[in-house]
A and B are shown apart, each in its own frame.
Chain A
Amino acid sequence: MSDIVLKTEGLTKHYGGVHALVDANFELRRGEHVAIMGDNGAGKSTFVRQITGVERRTSGKVWFDGQEVDFAGPLHAREAGIEAVFQNLALADDLDVPSNLFLGREKILFNLGPFSILDRKGMRQATEAALKRTAVKIPNLGSTIRNMSGGQRQCVAIARTATFASKLIIMDEPTAALGVQETAQVENIVRTLKDNGEPLILISHNMRQVFDLVDRIVVFRRGRIVANLRKEETDGQDVVAYITGAKTQNMAAAAL
């Protein structure tokens, strides 16, 4: 078995005339936590959408878990073991926590096709277990998530990734809208994942957070990967220079 969980080669996405992602070559190893940084509009979310089957790529190749893949939809990516927390969360406000966790993958007590009876108890217990694993505490699992704080909603979205056995977790700006304490909570979850050896791609603008949490930083600029930096070999200033374009890297020389 190869050591590489995810690999992309020449991954490209055009939206009409907008070249949102150009020729991205990316690798993620088992147990590795990698940050993707870059200005707004650099193509970070676009990159995630191509890997998770939310959109179909214009060109390029993707290997996941040793196999070349081309997911037809987000559910296929999930079935293969990629769990993503999208920037727009993708939660249903009027559903409770277990229903959101199991949205689209409900546990069934008795199969009657579309009218199957739900295993409500089973889903609630699994939810409690998942929240325990991520050290998230949410009062009253049975109430709708509409009235929850941004942090709690984010935790629900993250706990969703932890509920299902996954091989890769992707988080797109998970703390962008959160306060200090809530950010700390999410960072704790990320550390737990690291301890469990679960690989992660973290998109973030928060330099301190990135240096705290990840092993490697990949910088996107104008749809291209412009730097691939091991944490020990770089610092905040250096990364900012790549983000703003003040500095460029010879990618061939930096290949890991």
Chain B
Amino acid sequence: MAQTTFGVGGLTYDHSKRHMPQELNVLIALVLIIAAFELLGRILIGDSFLLNTRDNVDTIFNQARLQIIILQVSIVGIIAIGITQVIISGGIDLSAGSVVGATAMIAMSFAQVAMVNGNPNPKAVFLEQGWVDLPVIVPVIVGLGCGLLAGLINGSLIAYTKIPPFIATLGMMVTARGVAKWWTKGEPISFPTESFAGIGKGLMPVVIFLALAVLFHLMLKYTLYGKRCYAIGSNEEAARMSGINVERHKVLVYSIAGLLAAVAAIVLSSKNLTAQAGMGVMYELDAIAMAVIGGVSLSGGRGSIIGTVLGSLIFGVIISGFTFLKLDAYYQEMVKGAIIVGAVVLDVWRQRRRSSRG
């Protein structure tokens, strides 16, 4: 009984065409992948993946591994939040990883301690009163400014010159990496002030990731901003015909993505206590993979922050799972590549199924 009749004139509505929320599928996939590693762990190395096997600690789960999983995805996860709203609006952002590199370098150079081991730090900022520690707000604002600028350029290029997002952000990817290298002529910068180092300390990246996830979940679901992201990604022409200022919205979307890349850069450089020009390489691809695994469609209009958060957990579980099974790091990279391609194949497959339903 697939067809039911409703209303005057007998319009039909096919119930089989209604489906479960995408997020539920992703959650099920997450649980299945964890179960698979649990099983493989018992068989191959005689250890549990996520359950606590030490008798002296009174918890069900292996807290340490859980923490590692979520900690290692939270920084790329912040980028993935930004990329999610870009993809939902029908775009793509390949520049995030490079923006992380450039922002980390620039922010870190404004976060230098004045004295290292009793000697003045030549990389610190020199004012009239001598070498100084700048308050933490300075590197944060400067960093956010860098990300915002990169996003503003991306968005303006895409909205007003009509070049494809792929090309515009590819250009930014190369340019921002150049800025990261040029800033110190390739030298890494270390020795941040204690307050700057506090931003990414311990579980702070996780806290920041989850707080931003909640904020953007609410934004996409309950605000005009979110509605317009979905509308433009779903049917840009319809959005324009309805009077939505599509161009201005795109600039906003990419600017916010840039801001989030900057947040990731600040947290990352603070956590690592150093910034290097090569920071964040390939982060954009990991972030896109997290989003797509989480059900965000590369053709726009579909997806959610909840999905992306679950997608990031799947990503983290797979990477930790391979470490847990003591597989070589080389395999990890290959698997990561396969996940990215696999996620896109899955998206294409989902779309084909959707369009064949009519």
Contact = CB atoms under 8 A, between A and B. Distances in A.
B231 interface: yes
Interface in B281-327: 301-302
Contacts of B224: 106, 108, 114-118
A38 B14 CA distance: 35
B46 interface: no
A90 B239 CA distance: 8
The contact size tier of chain B is 35 or more
B13 interface: yes
Interface stretch (B36-44, B139-147, B241-249, B257-265): B241-249
Contacts of B244: 103-104
Contact of A136 (B4, B7, B10, B234): B7
A86 interface: yes
Interface in A139-176: 139-140, 143, 146-149, 151-152, 155
Given A93-B235, A95-B230, A105-B243, A149 B357 contact: no
A14 interface: no
A118 B11 contact: no
A137 B11 contact: yes
Given A115-B225, A117-B223, A137 B234 contact: no
B350 interface: no
Contact of A143 (B18, B235, B241, B249): B18
Interface string A43-79: 0000000000010000000000000000001110010
B11 A152 contact: yes
A181 interface: yes
A136 B10 CA distance: 10
Contacts of A106: 224, 227
A152 B227 contact: no
B231 A181 contact: no
A182 B13 CA distance: 12
Contacts of B10: 181
Interface residues of A, number: 46
A105 B354 CA distance: 29
B207 interface: no
- Where chain A touches its partner, the secondary structure class is loop
A94 B243 contact: no
A93 B355 CA distance: 12
A94 B301 contact: yes
B118 interface: no
Given A92-B231, A99-B231, A149 B242 contact: no
B9 A92 contact: no
B284 to A, nearest CB: 24
A154 to B, nearest CB: 10
A99 to B, nearest CB: 6
Nearest to B243: A75
Contact of B13 (A54, A92, A139, A146): A139
B238 A92 contact: yes
A115 B223 CA distance: 6
B227 A148 contact: no
B334 interface: no
Given A116-B223, A116-B224, A149 B11 contact: yes
Nearest to A86: B241
Given A137-B8, A181-B9, A115 B219 contact: yes
Contacts of A25: none
B11 A138 contact: yes
Contacts of A92: 230-231, 234-235, 238-239, 301
A185 B11 contact: yes
Contact of A103 (B8, B18, B223, B231): B231
B330 interface: no
Interface string A87-113: 011111111000100011110100010
Nearest to B297: A94
B66 interface: no
Contacts of B243: 73-75, 78, 104-105
Contacts of A181: 9-11
B194 interface: no
A133 interface: no
Interface in B343-358: 354, 357
A146 B249 CA distance: 24
B231 A95 contact: yes
Contacts of A105: 242-243
Shortest Cβ-Cβ A-B pairs, 3 listed: A137-B7, A75-B243, A104-B242
Interface of A: 54, 73-75, 78, 86, 88-95, 99, 103-106, 108, 112, 114-118, 120, 135-140, 143, 146-149, 151-152, 155, 181-182, 184-185, 188
5 contacts: A93-B301, A104-B239, A118-B227, A136-B11, A184-B9
